[in-house]
Every structure is written in structure tokens, then in C-alpha cells.
Amino acid sequence: MTSCFQTRVLTVDPSAPDPQIIAEAAAVIRARGLVAFPTETVYGLGANALDERAVARIFEAKGRPATDPIIAHIADLRQLDTLAHDVPSVAYALARRFWPGPLTLVVLRRSVVPANLSAGRATVAVRMPGHPVALALIAAAGVPIAAPSANRFSRPSPTTAAHVLDDLAGRIDLVLDGGPAPIGVESSVVDLTADPPVLLRPGGVTVAALLELLPGLTFAPRYLTEDDGAAPAPGMLVRHYAPDAMVIVVAGRREAALVRMRNEALIAAEAGKRVGVLAFDEDVPELVDLPVQLAPLGPATEPGRVAQRLFAALREIEQSGVDLILVRDPGQEGLSLAIRDRLVRAAEGRVIIAEPS
Ligand code: TXA
Ligand code: MG
């Protein structure tokens, strides 16, 4: 599909959005339009979640396969029961603890929810986002808002309005620019229809926090390639976040990993490849003499800041036209698990473990 219309951009105050701008955006949603808006995780591409044709437009604009279901965003806890039936009591406990916030719950879908939203599944994913602009938009629209991340399929998620426009200008009606997304990685997705519940995607709520209310929670990260055939759960394809360049995650102790990254960079540069490194701030002095493009990720000791930078850094380094991107394994502690998940997907599963020399 080629771009066929102008995408409008309206700037909003992220903490106190102008009700008139929100009303305008809500009118676009009700008229079956597409509105990109900030959430606390990443920018979402919103449409009326109860309107099958509006939802279909999301798939078309993103180039997203119809087999990958979309999250319905709500602004009021009562909307959960209008979308889902037989909601387990733990869902309300999770909602009280984590909503509004970066947690998505997969529950049983009511028939008012169009089947295409859920890619034909009997379930629906629901989340109440913790961002004033998102909450105001949903409330003003008066309907739940279907919203995947507002990127083209298999591009890094957008954390600014500029990222949204890079991918979707001319394909959507409106972008609400509320500045950078505060968290920077997507919500944690928990399937409550499985017994025990399954973490389908690590995200803004840590596993440790989830385990307090879901002691039986299981997480088996599987990074599938398209050759593996049908994915057991949607959204598990490693290509999901892949930039154009080849990405390699280098794991192991810091010193060994840095030695390995230097070697890989020098070998690739020798072979005429352009190399980029996503570097933790404290690693920069060890890498700065290399013939590589460096993109700082923030301090390794502050995963919150790394999460904020992650997708922008991936986009920047990709735009610099490199053939190979090296990044050190951030570990799996707290928010780092979500960061690692996105990097391993961007790397299409390529993780090398550096041994001490
Ligand atoms: O933080 C977020 O979740 C952002 C913001 C915009 O809210 N949204 C987001 O949406 O990341 P998306 O579509 O990029 O990712 C949603 C994930 C996908 O992995 C999808 O497969 C999964 O949630 N999902 C959605 N509905 C599901 C369902 N019914 N069952 C299982 N997984 C589902
Ligand atoms: Mg996405």
C-alpha cells in the first residue's frame, strides 16, 4: 500500500493533555480512524476496539499478519468485564496492584470483541495504560482502544512521535505527540487462561513483582524463527523486533564479553563490514578506539534508563547504515529481562557466550 493521505500531528502536554485536542482525537477514533498516541511503555496505534473494520485498518497500516492479536486498552476497570467473561479473581488483584500500568492480561473474550482483534482466538488481551494522554483518549472515545505498538511490522517499537512518523506517515490519520515514552519497553503480557499462568512477554512489570500475586507463573522464553512453523503463542517470532543489520548479543562476564566484542568488531571491520556497537556507558572507554559506530545505551547498572534508550538506539544505529551490531548481554535482573528479550529478538536468537581467555 502506498501512502495516500496526510497524517496530522497534534502536540499534547503529557501530564495535562488539552481536553479539546483529546476530544478531536477521540472523534477520529469514533469515526473509524487511526490515532497514534503515547503510553507509558511505547507509542500505540489506536482504533475503536469494538469496530471490526477499524481494527482491520490497524493490521493494514502496520503490515501486521492477521495471526498476531492486538491488546484492547481500557481506562476504567469496569470495561474489563465488558470485554471478557469468567475473569479470574487474580485478574482483579493484578489490576488493583499494577493498573494503570505496563501489564497486559490475557482473559476469555466476549463476543462483542471482534474476532480479528484477537486473531480468531477465544481470548482477549486487556491493559489499562499508565499515561494521562492514553487514559484521557480512551475515556473521551467512550470505547476500548485497540492498540499495537505504532511501528511497521518487524521494526523496533516507537518511543517518540518521530519514530511513529518514520514508519507510518501517510498511513494513519493522527499522531498525538506527548514526548518520549517514559518506560521505553512494552508491557508484560500474562496469559491468565493457562494453568498455571504464563508470562508470554517480559515487560515493564518485573517477574519478581508478578510472582508476588502469581506464585505459579511460568516463563519459557522461546525464540522461534519462521522455519519453526506455527508459533505456540503469538508474538514469539524472533524477527519481531529485527532491524536491517545483523545483531549479535555477547554474553558472559563483562571483561570476557568486552574482549570478544573487540575481536568480533575488528574481524568484521577487517572484512570491510561497517560495525555498530550499542554500548553501556561504562563500556564506552573500552570500545572508543575501535573503528565502529558507537551508540550509548545508558548505564548498565540502571536498566530503567537503558529501557528508555533501547529502541531509539536501535533505530539510530540502524539508520547509520551498519552491517553488524554488537551489544553486551544486559542480564536478566528486573527490567533487564525485558531489555534482553528485545535484544535477543533483534538478534534473531544470535547470542554468543564469551569465555574468559
Ligand atoms: O506496552 C504495550 O503493550 C504496547 C502499548 C501500545 O500498549 N502495545 C504493544 O502491542 O506492545 P503489540 O501488538 O506490539 O504487542 C502485543 C503483544 C503481542 O506479542 C501479541 O501477540 C500479544 O501481545 N497478544 C495480544 N493479544 C493476545 C492474546 N489474545 N493472546 C496472546 N497474546 C496476545
Ligand atoms: Mg509490537
CA–CA distance from 270 to each of 279, 292, 351 (Å)? 21, 11, 22
CA distance 229 to 166: 31
- Tens digit of pLDDT for each residue in 101-115? 999 999 999 999 999
> What atom of ligand 1 comes closest to residue 189's alpha carbon?
23
Model pTM above 0.85: yes
Q: Mean pLDDT, the chain, as a whole number?
A: 93
> What atom of ligand 1 comes closest to residue 129's alpha carbon?
7
Position 226 scores a pLDDT of: 47
Position 228 scores a pLDDT of: 47
- Among protein residues, the one whose CA lies closest to atom 18 of ligand 1: 235
Burial 18-29 (b: 16+ CB within 10 A, else e): eeebbebbbebb
Ligand 1 pocket test, candidate residues 154, 189, 199, 339, most atoms within 8 A of CB: 189
Mean pLDDT value of segment 321-334: 96
Ligand 1 residue neighbourhood (C-beta within 6 Å)? 39, 41-42, 44, 68-71, 102, 104, 106, 118, 121, 123-125, 127, 129, 147-149, 186-187, 189, 191, 200-201, 233-235
Closest listed ligand to the CA of 125: 1
pLDDT of 147 higher than 50: yes
Position 233 scores a pLDDT of: 56
Position 5 scores a pLDDT of: 76
- Among protein residues, the one whose CA lies closest to atom 6 of ligand 1: 44
Position 1 scores a pLDDT of: 45
Q: Are 151 and 279 in contact (CB under 8 A)?
A: no
More confident residue, 105 or 348: 105
Distance between Cα 149 and ligand 1 center (Å): 8
pLDDT of 31 higher than 80: yes
Position 53 scores a pLDDT of: 98
pLDDT of 336 higher than 60: yes
Position 166 scores a pLDDT of: 97
- Among protein residues, the one whose CA lies closest to atom 12 of ligand 1: 148
- Tens digit of pLDDT for each residue in 293-302? 999 999 999 9
Position 357 scores a pLDDT of: 76
More confident residue, 222 or 303: 303
Q: Are 163 and 318 in contact (CB under 8 A)?
A: no
- Tens digit of pLDDT for each residue in 216-272? 999 866 555 444 444 445 555 555 566 678 999 999 999 999 999 999 999 999 999
Position 290 scores a pLDDT of: 97
The one-character DSSP state at 50 is T
- Tens digit of pLDDT for each residue in 85-135? 999 999 999 999 999 999 999 999 999 999 999 999 999 999 999 999 999
Residues with CB under 5 A from ligand 2 (ion): 149
Distance between Cα 234 and ligand 2 center (Å): 11
